[in-house]
Amino acid sequence: MGAYGIAFGAAAVANGFSVLQSCLLSLLTFSGASQFAVVGVLGAGGTALSGIATASLLGFRNGLYGVIMAPRLKVKGFKRVVAAQVTIDESTAVALGQEVRGEKAMRQGFWLTGFGVFFFWNLFTVAGALGAQAMGDIRAWGLDSAVPAAFLGLVWPRLQSTRDRILAVGAMVFALAMTPILPAGLPIIATAFIAIVVGLRA
């Protein structure tokens, strides 16, 4: 979590975001893949709209986690707002993992993981953003490779089946092939439609 937060803060600044904007993304968006995506798209010269669209497509899964978690947490009002904000991969996974040990352990797992990740994610984002700001030429520090490596690290555990791997390679080839033709950012978003087609045919 620490290194990942540092990597995000550094990547955000390396791609043209200010330290304040990087920190706001971690506080308010609070979803690693979405944050890396918006930073990556704008860094590649994409428009704000294509950055937002790519990040939001990745954020869609947090909505599905919310659907799973809501009947288990049973919270209303402000507590629901807080619960929604910390509904991410980690908190949902831990909660579902604790479910066999009862409802109380499950809720505890959700809140502890959610708050814990929120705290450290934001702390390390600040560190990474300030660090990258002090670096100067990011290429000399390998930061321009840290971002794609982070994406690769995120996608790697998701490649469970042959279909997943074919989709991954197909999306890479498609995005590269479209890069000289489409405006920056669009080649990335367009691959979501490939995923939808593959999902519908499954």
Partner 1 sequence: MNSFWIATIGTSVIAFALKYTGHSVPEKFFAHPKVQAINALIPIALLSALVAVQSFTDKSKLIIDHRLAGLGAALLALILKAPFPVVVISAAIASAAAYKLL
Interface residues for partner 1 in 78-97 (CB under 8 A)? 80-81, 83-85, 87
Residue 99 found at the interface with partner 1 (CB under 8 A)? no
Q: Directed axis angle between helix 48-73 and helix 89-98, to 10°?
A: 20
CA-based diameter of the chain, in Å? 54
Which among 95-103, 112-120, 138-146 is the span making contact with partner 1, rule CB under 8 A? 138-146
Tokens 């509904």 -> residue? 87
Residue 74 found at the interface with partner 1 (CB under 8 A)? no
Residue 67 found at the interface with partner 1 (CB under 8 A)? yes
Residue 139 found at the interface with partner 1 (CB under 8 A)? yes
Residue 24 found at the interface with partner 1 (CB under 8 A)? yes
DSSP 137-183: -GGGGTHHHHHHHHHHHHHGGG--SHHHHHHHHHHHHHHHHHTTTSP
Residue 143 found at the interface with partner 1 (CB under 8 A)? yes
Residue 42 found at the interface with partner 1 (CB under 8 A)? yes
Residue 18 found at the interface with partner 1 (CB under 8 A)? yes
Pair 151, 40: CB distance under 8 Å: yes
